[in-house]
Amino acid sequence: MDFVHAPFWSNLATMTALTRRRDPDARQEAWRIFYGDVHVGTIGIRSGNPTGGDQWSWHCGFYPGSNPGDASDGTAPNFDVARAAFESAWSVFLSKRTEADFLEYRRHRASTAWKYAMWDAGCKLPTQTADGRARCFCGAEIGIADMDQHIYAAHMEANAA
Ligand SMILES: [Zn+2]
């Protein structure tokens, strides 16, 4: 899949970790915003093409790894205004985050991806077998109790920044 990679706020030293990629699934212009490897929000043209109002909308925040109410969103007349609003929202959101929040998000993402990979491989999860034991697609024996540990140890994506 071809993503357009573009610097987001390359002029702001503190924001160099943010990048944007065109959303390939959106019919209208939409951008997914990334902080390193974490998808932290979107900026795009509003669907339905509202007349007389803001044409753009943005959403900032990720979950799990944040509290209800931490994420925010809004509308704007154009991309630049939406980007500025996103920038403010992100600095607030980021100021409330800890490394543990990012770890929680990455672990959740790894677990989700692993379950899909298990289904794709035709493997049963330990929760789906009578004795609570199963074999991972990588060949490892896993049980209900050590399933998460195995995912985090063997199937976590590298924290590429
Ligand atoms: Zn495995």
Rounded Cα distance, 140 and 3, in Å: 34
Average pLDDT over residues 22-38: 93
What is this structure's pTM? 0.79
Would you say how long the chain is, in residues? Answer: 161
Quote the ligand 1 centre to 102 CA distance (angstroms): 22
Sign of torsion, CA 11 16 22 28?
negative
- For residue 9, give the 3-state DSSP assignment: coil
89-105 residue pLDDT tens: 999 999 999 999 999 99
Q: How far is the CA of 119 from the centre of ligand 1 (A)?
A: 13
**Distance from Cα 141 to the centre of ligand 1, integer Å:** 8
Neighbours of ion ligand 1 (CB under 5 A): 136, 138, 140, 154
User: What sections of 38-135 are H helices per DSSP?
Assistant: 79-95, 99-120
CB 59 within 8 A of CB 44: no
Give me the pLDDT at residue 1, please. Answer: 38
